[in-house]
A and B are shown apart, each in its own frame.
Chain A
Amino acid sequence: MADVRNYTLNFGPQHPAAHGVLRLVLELDGEVIVRADPHIGLLHRGTEKLAETRTWLQTLPYLDRLDYTSMLPSEHAYCLAVERLLGVEVPIRAQYIRVMYDEIARIKNHLLNIGTHALDIGAMTMVLYTFREREDLFDVFEATCGIRMHQAYYRPGGVYRDLPDQMPKYQENRFKNAQTVKELNEARNGTLLDFLEDFTNRFPILLEEYHTLLTDNRIWKQRTVGIGVISPERALQLGFSGAMLRGSGIEWDLRKKQPYEVYDRLDFDIPVGVNGDTYDRYLVRMEEMAQSNRIIKQCIDWLRKNPGPVISDDHKVAPPRREKMKGSMEELIHHFKLFTEGMHVPPGEVYAAIEHPKGEMAVWAVSDGANKPYRIKLHTAGIPHLAATDEMCRGHMLADATAVIGTIDLVLGDVDR
Chain B
Amino acid sequence: MSAKLERLCRQLKESFGDRIGEPSINHGEVTVVVPAASYLEVMRQLRDDPAFSFEQLMDLSGIDYSDFTGYQGLRYAAVSQLLSLAHNWRLQVKAFATDDEFPVLESVVDIWNVANWYEREAFDLFGIHFEGHPDLRRILTDYGFVGHPFRKDFPISGYVEMRYDPEQQRVIYQPVTIEPREVTPRIVREENYGKGGRG
**A: which residues have CB within 8 A of B?**
40-41, 44, 46, 48-50, 52-55, 58, 84-85, 236-239, 241, 250, 252, 257-258, 316, 337, 340-342, 344, 347-351, 353, 360, 362, 364, 366, 368-372, 374-375, 377, 379, 383-384, 387, 416-417
Contacts and interface: CB of A to CB of B under 8 A. Distances in A.
A340 B193 CA distance: 16
B29 A350 contact: yes
Contacts of B186: 370-372
Given A340-B184, A364-B61, A379-B59, A239 B26 contact: no
Contact of A384 (B117, B138, B150): B117
B190 to A, nearest CB: 10
A184 B188 CA distance: 54
21 contacts: A52-B156, A54-B184, A236-B55, A237-B114, A239-B56, A239-B57, A241-B58, A252-B85, A316-B194, A348-B27, A349-B29, A349-B31, A349-B92, A350-B27, A351-B59, A362-B59, A362-B81, A370-B186, A370-B188, A375-B63, A383-B118
A375 B68 CA distance: 10
A342 B184 contact: yes
A384 B114 CA distance: 6
A387 B137 CA distance: 14
Contacts of A316: 194
Chain B, interface size category, equals: 35 or more
Contacts of B90: 351
Nearest to B89: A258
Given A369-B188, A383-B117, 16 more contacts: A41-B140, A49-B150, A58-B184, A84-B27, A236-B55, A238-B113, A241-B58, A250-B85, A341-B187, A349-B29, A370-B187, A371-B187, A372-B184, A372-B186, A387-B114, A387-B116
B112 interface: yes
Contact of A362 (B58, B118, B184): B58
A379 B58 contact: yes
Contact of A239 (B27, B31, B64, B112): B112
